[in-house]
A and B are shown apart, each in its own frame.
Chain A
Amino acid sequence: MISRRHLLAAGAALAGSTTLPPIIAANAAGPQLDPALPEGLRDVAALEALPGKKPLIRMSYRPPNYESPLEYFRTPITPNDQFFVRYHLADIPEVDAKSWKLAVGGDGADKAIALTLDELKALPAVEVVAVNQCSGNRRGLFKPHVPGVEWGYGAMGCARWKGARLKDILDKAGLKKEAIEISFDGADKGVFDKVPDFVKSLPAWKAIEDTTIVAYEMNGAPLPHLNGFPARLVVPGWTGTYWMKHLISINALTKPLGNFWMAAAYRVPLGKFPVVARFISQETAANTPITEMVVNSLITSHADGANVKAGTMVGGIAWDGGYGITSVEVSTDGGKSWLPAQLGEDLGRFAFRPFSAPVAAKGKVTVMARATNKIGQTQTTELNQNPAGYHHNVIHRITLNVA
């Protein structure tokens, strides 16, 4: 929801004018937001088009955090101009592709090298369709409240990424066998020197997987500025925190990276979630860095409260940490019984997998969807509470009025 006061202020500021048409029903122009999201968010969030983007739901202006509305997820590929935007730090330079260089080195490498964009593109190109989802997607639905960006459902997207294998890049610098982590820095930074620069690391085993790439294309086009131009890390299966945008340096490390973003942020209690991928060099007795995404699904064909005819197909998308979605079940009786949905186009184990099922019941119908992956993991019915509000995969539900 957007308040009249807020809209007036926004309109005046952007138009540079104090004469505005009267607003009769401001709420009608705002995004549909889950009533479980914080009241403050529902007041301040608004649909807004950033340069080169279709309208996204603004969580915060600076650093820019904008999520995709539910209806942008009706296809398994999210178009670039509908893809969400997420930054930690507010100093975000427009990177010049001609002068951009990617520095590769570190104490776990034989030598330091630098690649231009042309040199990066000269390496063997690979393509992978993969979901990029913020670790804190759906944080705004946590009860009790978890402070942070109060995301709804849309801090995610799925694109076809093209780039060079990180392994091939590391080979050029020579990866020592003592290297245990690979770290990544982007061009964006904080407005004060003391603000910890956003630098992340991956365990070496994940960094050298064939599907981990430095991407310079997204859905057949250069990366949009706000999604990491000219090149970003793509870590299929793992949450967005590792997908460094505006990548400028890569370092092979023989010791764990101990900065704020690794040692304090992006951690989950040890053993709390059924994830397979471990980041052992960063584990403590209490917690571990978040790694792969948990299995999840979202109903996107209809808005909550929509009026439909009996027999209408409802559907959405399902995804996981890269094991692959094997089934999605749909319930139209509030979870008492479940029927298998039909799965749509398979764009690979890291992609959104569409699903659909008919709604046969009539009246006020609660539709729910539950995905299962190849290793038998499924979604939770109760929230798996954790301090930073990650891995929300509670079964999504909407209400339809079926006639």
Chain B
Amino acid sequence: MRVTIALLALTLATPALADEQAIALKKAPGLDKVEANCAACHSLDYIVMNSPYPNAALWDAEVTKMIKAYGAPIEDADAKAIAEYLKKNYGS
């Protein structure tokens, strides 16, 4: 078991900026919009690390903040789909 972990540690220590494909979000309606929009500016672990606490209002506020405060170019329909996805899959 120790050998296995050591091998794994070596793999993870590969000196390259880490690959984000590791972040596999839950497969559900809206995921395509999340991947197409949110991942343009940040890795999707931001979503996972904040779960499961945000309630519906908090996820709505986060999506709005990304658009209004951080200037994310997300269309209204996509924003709605993203918020719904987050509430259903990563909310409380």
Contacts and interface: CB of A to CB of B under 8 A. Distances in A.
A150 B72 CA distance: 22
A60 B12 contact: no
Interface of B: 1, 3-5, 7-9, 11-24, 40-43, 45-54, 58, 62, 69-73, 90
Interface of A: 5-7, 9-11, 13-15, 20-26, 28-29, 38-41, 43-52, 55, 58-64, 90, 140, 144-145, 147-150, 190-196, 260, 264
A41 B46 CA distance: 9
B41 A90 contact: yes
Nearest to A15: B11
Contact of B20 (A5, A61, A149): A61
Contacts of B21: 9, 13
A190 B12 contact: no
B42 A60 contact: yes
A51 B16 contact: yes
B51 to A, nearest CB: 4
Given A11-B12, A61-B20, A44 B69 contact: no
A145 B50 contact: yes
Contacts of B50: 38, 40-41, 145, 147-148, 150
A184 B3 CA distance: 48
Contacts of A39: 51-52
B71 A10 contact: no
Contacts of A193: 71
Contacts of A47: 9, 12
Contacts of B51: 38-40
Contacts of B24: 5-6, 9
B72 A55 contact: no
B48 A43 contact: yes
Given A21-B3, A140-B49, A150-B50, 16 more contacts: A6-B22, A10-B19, A13-B22, A14-B19, A20-B8, A21-B4, A29-B5, A41-B48, A44-B48, A48-B13, A49-B15, A60-B45, A61-B19, A195-B70, A196-B69, A196-B70
10 contacts: A6-B22, A25-B1, A28-B5, A40-B48, A46-B12, A55-B12, A61-B17, A62-B42, A147-B58, A195-B71
A24 to B, nearest CB: 5
Nearest to A24: B1
Contacts of B62: 147
A22 B7 CA distance: 10
Task: Identify the interface centre among A38, A40, A191: most chain B CB within 10 Å of its CB.
Answer: A40
Task: Identify the interface centre among B5, B12, B19, B90: most chain A CB within 10 Å of its CB.
Answer: B12
Nearest to A191: B41
B18 A10 contact: yes
Contacts of A144: 53
Contact of B49 (A13, A14, A60): A60
A11 B48 contact: no
Task: Identify the interface centre among A43, A148, A195, A260: most chain B CB within 10 Å of its CB.
Answer: A195
B91 to A, nearest CB: 11
A141 to B, nearest CB: 12
Contacts of A145: 50, 53-54, 58
B12 A48 contact: yes
Contact of A147 (B14, B41, B54): B54
Contact of B11 (A6, A14, A38, A52): A14
A337 B50 CA distance: 36
Nearest to A7: B8
A173 to B, nearest CB: 31
Given A64-B17, A195-B70, A22 B4 contact: yes
Task: Identify the interface centre among B7, B43, B90: most chain A CB within 10 Å of its CB.
Answer: B43
